[in-house]
Structure 1
Amino acid sequence: MLKGTQLTFFSFCVASKTVLWLEDQTKKLHKDMKKSTEADLAMSKAAVKISADLLSNPLCEQDQAFLESMTALDTAMRRMDAFNQEKVNQIQKTVIDPLKKYSGVFPSLNMAVKRREQTLQDYKRLQSKVEKYEEKEKTGPVMVKLHQAREELRPVREDFEAKNKQLLDEMPKFYHSRIDYFQPSFEALIRAQVVYFTEMYKIFSELTDQIDQAGLTDEQRERETEAKLSELRALSIVADD
């Protein structure tokens, strides 16, 4: 029986699985945050393109009110895009980059676990060799081989116990340190979102004041649009055959 391995086996398995879970969650969060910021940028860029396309519509040359509305919309979308870019840059520095750096620690940790496993296998092999000679008749040659096997086992056992103790001590510390490491990042993420949406409220409130001169409700606009559509459907060129 391997001394020092049976009692710590369960503890090591728990610590190892916990760290593996943390690694998986960190990588997943890093990937999701990148997708989120990429989607944010794509959204604001698309909004700018839509407003630019509307502004270049020939109708703007014919209708001054429409031109003014589209100009206000285009200005608002460009302001939104600028604030969005600022928000994404902040999230990149305070959340995504720290997540990437944290993920970079796991390869060395996993290598330490692998070295422990390799040492454990050597420990088991040499311990079995010692036990084999201990079970044999205690002749002179057997005692010599037993002594040699024990001497060969001793440094390997000490090496394993040192590696095992280090991991058992440090893996829980590493896991619990995640809170202190990530808390500033998540606080920065919340602040960046609060600043962004506060600015968006201002931008769209101003835009509403500029283009919503009639003060129509959504229901009224819907009825107005439906009435215009009914007029178009009444035209002979779109009448059903």
Structure 2
Amino acid sequence: MGRLDGKVAIITGGARGMGASHAKRFSEEGAKVMITDILEKEGEAMATELGRDVKFMKHDVTKSLDWERVVAETESAFGPVSVLVNNAGIALLKSIEKMTEAQYRRVIDINQVSVFLGMKYVLSSMRKTENGSIINISSISGLKGNSESIAYSASKFAIRGMTKSAAIEFGAEGIRVNSVHPGITETPMVRKSRVSKLAREIPLQRTAQPVEVSNMVVYLASDESSYVTGADFVIDGGLTGKL
């Protein structure tokens, strides 16, 4: 029996990297999963690999109409949505002076506005389950500042605050909302050439594997975390413990 048997999940940014890892673990634990991404070819391949209880939809997370369509088609295919993993995101390392307004707004739209839209549009479906879980993927950059990271840090700090507000607003309806703050994780977003250098700064002396973050996401999606809401879960090998 899987830890997520009977759960219906939407995982954004699920075509590759950390999102794909979440989708795999959810599938292994018995959930029915809708993977969404703008990467159509990779998303279709991932859904095919994981089997008939996993489907893929092309999805621009910054668009309300796309969110309405994703929620409706997920419910049509699998039933009411019980878990939302707001995972889609991008990083842009650039100084404040050199970053354009358009670049800043793009990061905010994809990383932050998408989380607002996801929570807004999943709510009507999730209310039907009376036992929903929303998991917003932030970052340790949502806990501390970094050079050349103004837009990314702004978006990830915002996710933390949005999570706490939503947890208070949705709590009476049995819907939990938590944020996950991964540290340096070996995904396509992290340049391989930087991994060994970055690892030396971490107390555990290594970067995280995506599955280590996914295991926390599974816990928050499951009924094991039934009394956990409005909380921050840091998975960084002790890096922020040095602050």
Larger radius of gyration: 1
The structure where helix makes up a greater share of residues is: 1
Identify the structure with bigger relative contact order (alpha carbons < 8 Å, sequence gap 6+).
Answer: 1
The structure where strand makes up a greater share of residues is: 2
For this structure pair, what is the TM-score category when the shorter chain's length is used for normalisation?
Answer: under 0.3
